[in-house]
Amino acid sequence: MDAHTWLGLLEGSHLSQPAQLLLREITHAINSKDDVYARQLAKRLLILRDGMPDRMEKAETTLEYALVLFQFGDCEGAVARLEEARKLYRNNLHFTTVTLWMKGCIQWSMASECDEAYAAWSQCSEQFTALQKSSGNPDQARWYAEHVQKIHAEIGSMLKQERQAAAVAQASAAKPSTPIDNQALLQLFRVFDEIPAGGFGAVAVSHVSIGDVQVQQVLINGALYRISNLHRSGKVISLHSSKYVVLKVIGDSMNKPGKLGEEGIDSGDYVLLHPQETANDGDIVAAEIDDLDSQATLKRLQIVQAGRQYILEPQSTNPIHQPRTFSHMNEGFSIRGIVLVLFKPLHKQPTENHA
């Protein structure tokens, strides 16, 4: 979550070394899809937190535990822990505001708590504005002003998505073939920033989404079924999808079909990415190159010479794209995720070529 980095504006982490070690292990276990071990470690982190005498460390550990719960898909538990962390951060308006923002972000992913998310973000805007006006440090005042704009952008994005969903639902309800008033859209994933397949661009996913992946029908055992909403929480039903992101592809370095018959990835396609720090030979990965200032691209990972050579290889009809070779994993480059699914448009879209 992008807001996680906002905590460090005024001071460093309050976490002890044992807590930091546990969190690193939990992250590794989650990225390795070892949920059983990750949950075991999370329980250990909670026990460690309960014995912490320092209130700031306890607050930060509670916040970290909330983010772990969010990755497990427990949104309600994450919201409750973030509220607990906010109370522990009492008398510190910066920390309480950032925690409230994170709480609102999770609430927005829950169909039943979108109103609460809107209220939380509106409060964050007011509190950051107050911090901006009271700050005697020009750099900090500028930071608060920029992040107030980010909050406003997210609120605008939320309202736009609701308006679009309402328009789609209204159009569907107007059709004679869908007389049932609880016809629903199932929101599977949020769509975030673009990722290049050619040049390089930021792989970090901002929290301001640019849309959603939604479906009105599903295929079960070969038969097509429509979706009906029984929760009565609106026309859009959101499924928790924090472990996956959908990214728009720009560029042509992966447009050639693979050797095993996989389709090429064209500019304008979308990919479903699982954020993780490891990958296997042959995976298509989002890779970050160290000397390019945290920039990333889609490439196929080739592991050769028994792990003594790692190649980020383009798969393109354009000869301008060349492979990059590294001698060790995570030295000179880092894996930020692997591509699981390719979304191809049914109708040809205008080509965007930023390669």
* pLDDT above 70 coverage of the chain, percent: 77
In a domain, 172, yes or no: no
Instruction: Report residue 298 as tokens.
Output: 């889609």
Average pLDDT, the chain: 79
Q: For the segment 36-75, what is each residue's pLDDT rounded down to a tens digit?
A: 898 899 999 999 999 999 999 999 999 999 988 888 888 8
Categorize the per-residue pLDDT at 176 as very low, low, confident or very high, splitting at 50, 70 and 90.
low
116 and 207 assigned to the same domain: no
Cα-Cα end-to-end distance for the chain: 28
Instruction: With CA atoms as reference, report the closest residue to 235 among 173, 327, 328.
Output: 173
Return the number of other C-beta atoms located less than 10 Å from residue 43's C-beta. Answer: 11
Q: How far apart are CA 5 and CA 2, in angstroms?
A: 6
- Mean of pLDDT values over 126-137: 91
Domain shared by 206 and 123, yes or no: no
Domain end point (choices 126, 158, 190): 158
Q: What is the Cα 75 distance to its own chain's centre?
A: 14
Structural domain range at position 54: 2-158
In a domain, 164, yes or no: no
165 found inside a domain: no
Its pTM stands at 0.53
- Residue 78, classified by CB atoms within 10 Å of its CB into exposed (0-12), middle (13-18) or buried (19+), is buried
Neighbours of 260 (CB within 10 A): 6
Nearest residue to 162 via CA among 123, 117, 125, 193: 117
Both 302 and 217 in one domain: the answer is: yes
Question: 260 Cβ partners below 8 Å, 6+ apart?
Answer: none
SS3 content of the chain, % helix, strand, coil (to 5): 45, 25, 35
Q: What is the mean pLDDT of residues 275-291?
A: 84
List, as own/partner pairs, every contact residues 68-74 make where C-beta atoms lie below 8 angstroms and the sequence separation is at least 24, other chains included.
68/26, 68/30, 68/38, 68/42, 69/42, 70/1, 70/106, 70/242, 71/30, 71/242, 71/243, 72/35, 72/38, 72/39, 72/42, 73/240, 73/242, 73/243
- CA 160 to CA 231: how far, in whole Å? 22
* Residue-by-residue DSSP string for 125-152: HHHHHHHHHH-S-HHHHHHHHHHHHHHH
Token reading at 144: 């608060």
Helix 114-134 / helix 93-108 crossing angle, nearest 10 deg: 160
Exposure letters 287-314 (e unless 16+ CB within 10 A, then b) = bbbeeeeebbbbbbbebeeeeeebebbb
Structure tokens at 305: 């010479």
CATH of the domain at 83: 1.25.40.10
Identify which has the larger pLDDT, 5 or 59.
59
- What are the DSSP E strand ranges found in 143-283? 185-196, 201-202, 211-215, 217-220, 223-226, 236-238, 245-250, 270-274
* pLDDT at residue 355 in the model: 40
- Mean pLDDT check: name the lowest of 5-14, 125-134, 335-344: 5-14
User: Is-contact 209 261, C-beta < 8 A?
Assistant: no
Q: How many residues does the chain have?
A: 355
Report yes or no on 88 lying in a domain: yes
pLDDT for residue 327 is more than 80: yes
Same domain, 150 and 197: no
Whether 149 contacts 156, CB under 8 Å? no
130 — pLDDT class (breaks 50, 70, 90): very high
pLDDT tens readout for residues 82-99? 999 999 998 889 999 999
> What is the tally of structural domains in the chain?
2
Query: What's the pLDDT score for residue 182?
Result: 54
Domain co-membership, 71 together with 198? no
Statement: residue 349 has pLDDT above 70:
no
User: Is there a domain that residue 323 lies in?
Assistant: yes
Query: How far apart, in Å, are the Cα atoms of 50 and each of 46, 59, 75?
Result: 6, 11, 21
- Model confidence at 348, in pLDDT bands (50, 70, 90)? low
- For position 172, what pLDDT does the model report? 57
Q: Among residues 124, 158, 192, which one ends one of the domains?
A: 158
In a domain, residue 253? The reply is yes
Q: How many whole angstroms separate alpha carbon 325 and alpha carbon 320?
A: 16
Give the end of a domain, one of 92, 125, 158. Answer: 158
pLDDT in tens, 215-270: 777 777 777 777 766 555 556 666 655 577 788 888 888 999 887 778 899 888 88
